[in-house]
Structure 1
Amino acid sequence: MSLSFARWRLYLDLIRWDRPAGWLLLLWPTLSALWLAADGFPGWHLLFVFIGGTILMRSAGCCINDVADREFDRHVARTAKRPVTTGAIPVKEALQLGALLAVLAFLLVLSTNPPTIWLSLPALAVALLYPYAKRVLAMPQAVLGVAFSFGIPMAFSAVLGADDWRLQAIPDAIPLAAWGLMAANLFWVLAYDTEYAMVDREDDLKIGIKTSAITLGAWDVRGIALFYLVFLGGWAGLALSFFGMGWGFVAGWGLALAQVLWHLRLIAPRERAGCFQAFRLNHWVGAALFAGTALDLML
């Protein structure tokens, strides 16, 4: 039976199709890792796999997140009208859509190599766990940081991995510096998702959700500044010392830094509009780093 246009609109709303910032935040560090691993353009096949997989997995994550948070979301003004929360899309239907999207992403991964396929399993597990982390962890954004940074080691393994199904082949495919990039990227996720959590802090306090914005309290802005510092410092140190980046990367890094300083000014008053704007535009920080990386490898 064909789906009506209105039904398709609900599905697109569920996966946040009109809000690409979510998958762009995941995509840019993954593409930077791909270019670093390949020492330049990684080829159309891997580019298609990682762009497609990023969009599909972020969309699947939205389905899982909305099902897990449906009781909380109805008490938050920004999320109260989400299709699962209102009942416009039943829970079972949302889970089926999420599963279908995850399977499609896995089919893309199957076209890579064994180390990357193995890595996709813990990546999926972390993505499934994140929506429930806010019930028990003081800073659940750290779990999101792992989920949103897993594309980095997967990118390296896709480029450098061999056709070897042994688990011992995974460390051989991923240099230590790639794990360092993943760790540094986690702090970027902590920064922008804390900005996002500042938007809903009052609602989250009422319903009992744990977030980094609540945990940091009056130290929220300073905490975010520290997260950004670790992120930018980590990427710069590894890119310059291990990967041999030069002035092209430094130019992109400088543009990313300028944006970060602007975002800190936006969130300083702790007003919802400024915090949401900083979060919504954060993907341009990642875009600047990728542009610098790609440019440098072309020079």
Structure 2
Amino acid sequence: MERPVASSLPDAVQGHWADRWAPASLRPYLRLARIERPIGWWLLLLPCWWSAALAAIAAGQPWPNPIHCILFLIGAVAMRGAGCTYNDIVDRDLDTRVERTRDRPLPSGQVSLKQALAFLALQGLVGLAVLLQFNAFAILTGLASLGIVALYPFMKRFFWMPQIVLGLAFAWGALMGWAAAFGSLGWAPVLLYLGSIAWVVGYDTIYALQDIEDDEIAGIKSSARFFGERVKLGVGLCYGLTLAFIGAAFTAADAGPVAFVGLALFAAHLAWQVVRIDRNDGAGALRLFRSNRDAGLVLFAAMTLDCLVRFA
């Protein structure tokens, strides 16, 4: 007897338009791209916007380049979707063993492997079209991330901290905004990149708390399992590194006091997350994970305001 497929996945935004209004034939592809879970592209986008704002601070501009910010938005949605599609292709057998993922389009049979590969190629072409709008150095910088992206899905099989590899990929935008603005890199974007990696490891450890029991059964490794009972300490250390590196990036870019006030607000939000972590509350972990979008937007807004204040 064929197993019924859920109308939406457990960690999807309830009542999202992709599940309510999109044609039935398109819904499996939208789920492959995680359209009904926009938090993923937000978290991929934010380091790009931070980097664009940091470049504007360093260059004495009144605000981040708006065209670059729009291109980063389109690229983040496309490449996050492509990354998720690729991850599902690689993990299609593992996903059948985890409650939260077994109803995804590939393991549930809603989409064939050939269809998923074609959809992956389509999203990749959109991402490439966006990347080609930047200068040559930024294009090469963006292409350099593909190896890390290709490696990530395999890490959970033998590496206890696959979130580090995810961080290397998801934080790449911290280099891109600066590269697009200057056609080069420097200490400020590198420090921002290191801080963004630590941020990704921290918030994805919280996200992984949802799957601890299933991951143990399936033999999937994660930072949540690695930290175990000391997960608050582990996430706290990651967030501490986040703040130290971003603060150093601000100093290297000669950021003003408004940016540092934003960093303090960002720090308060991260501390609140650590206090609220409960290993036995999967739903709460998902809420904390999603709250990082708001924390990241606060930091970006402060960096942009710092540009305006200093330019005025």
Q: Give the TM-score normalised by the residue count of structure 1.
A: 0.91
The answer to whether the aligner puts 1:110 opposite 2:132 as a matched pair is yes
The answer to whether the aligner puts 1:265 opposite 2:283 as a matched pair is no
| Structure 2 letter corresponding to 1:28 | L
Equivalent residues in 2 for 1:237-256, closer than 5 Å: 237-239=248-250, 241-256=251-266
Equivalent residues in 2 for 1:214-293, closer than 5 Å: 214-239=225-250, 241-268=251-278, 270-293=280-303
Aligned to 1:186: 197
* C-alpha displacement of 1:125: 1.7
Aligned pair partner of 2:37 in 16, 19, 27:
19
Q: Output the CA distance in 1 between the equivalents of 2:75 and 2:240.
A: 29
The answer to whether the aligner puts 1:141 opposite 2:141 as a matched pair is no
Q: Output the CA distance in 1 between the equivalents of 2:120 and 2:186.
A: 32
Q: Output the CA distance in 2 between the equivalents of 1:68 and 1:102.
A: 16
The answer to whether the aligner puts 1:58 opposite 2:58 as a matched pair is no
Q: Cα–Cα, structure 1 residues 18 and 44, in superposed 2: closer, same or farther, change >3 Å?
A: same
Query: Which of 33-42 and 225-234 deviates more?
Result: 33-42
Q: Output the CA distance in 2 between the equivalents of 1:286 and 1:270.
A: 26
Q: Which has the higher helix share?
A: 1
Q: Output the CA distance in 1 between the equivalents of 2:69 and 2:296.
A: 17
Q: Output the CA distance in 2 between the equivalents of 1:84 and 1:258.
A: 40
Structure 2: 5+ residue stretches without partners: 1-21
Where 1:65 maps in the other structure, the secondary structure is helix
Q: Output the CA distance in 1 between the equivalents of 2:191 and 2:260.
A: 18
* C-alpha displacement of 1:113: 1.2
Equivalent residues in 2 for 1:171-182, closer than 5 Å: 173-182=184-193
* C-alpha displacement of 1:269: 5.1
Q: Cα–Cα, structure 1 residues 298 and 229, in superposed 2: closer, same or farther, change >3 Å?
A: same
Where 2:97 maps in the other structure, the secondary structure is coil
- Whether the 8 Å CA contact 2:64–2:304 is kept in 1: the answer is no
| Structure 1 letter corresponding to 2:46 | W
Q: Output the CA distance in 2 between the equivalents of 1:148 and 1:292.
A: 22
Moved over 3 A (4+): none
Aligned to 2:220: 209
| Structure 1 letter corresponding to 2:158 | V
Structure 1: 5+ residue stretches without partners: 162-172
The answer to whether the aligner puts 1:128 opposite 2:150 as a matched pair is yes
Q: Output the CA distance in 2 between the equivalents of 1:95 and 1:64.
A: 8
- The CA RMSD over aligned residues, in Å, is 1.5
Q: Output the CA distance in 1 between the equivalents of 2:91 and 2:284.
A: 25
Q: Cα–Cα, structure 1 residues 250 and 42, in superposed 2: closer, same or farther, change >3 Å?
A: closer
- Whether the 8 Å CA contact 1:139–1:211 is kept in 2: the answer is yes
Aligned to 1:166: none
Give CA deviations for 1:113-141 in whole Å, capped at 9, x if unaligned. 11111112221221121111111211010
- Whether the 8 Å CA contact 1:256–1:284 is kept in 2: the answer is no
Aligned pair partner of 2:94 in 64, 72, 77:
72
Identity %: 36
Aligned residues between the structures: 284
Aligned to 2:69: 47
- Whether the 8 Å CA contact 1:42–1:159 is kept in 2: the answer is no
- Whether the 8 Å CA contact 1:187–1:228 is kept in 2: the answer is yes
Aligned to 1:169: none
The answer to whether the aligner puts 1:34 opposite 2:56 as a matched pair is no
Aligned pair partner of 1:6 in 18, 21, 24:
24
Q: Give the TM-score normalised by the residue count of structure 2.
A: 0.87
| Structure 1 letter corresponding to 2:117 | L
* C-alpha displacement of 1:261: 2.0
Q: Output the CA distance in 1 between the equivalents of 2:293 and 2:143.
A: 26
Query: Which of 270-279 and 130-139 deviates more?
Result: 270-279
* C-alpha displacement of 1:267: 0.9
Query: Which of 37-46 and 221-230 deviates more?
Result: 37-46
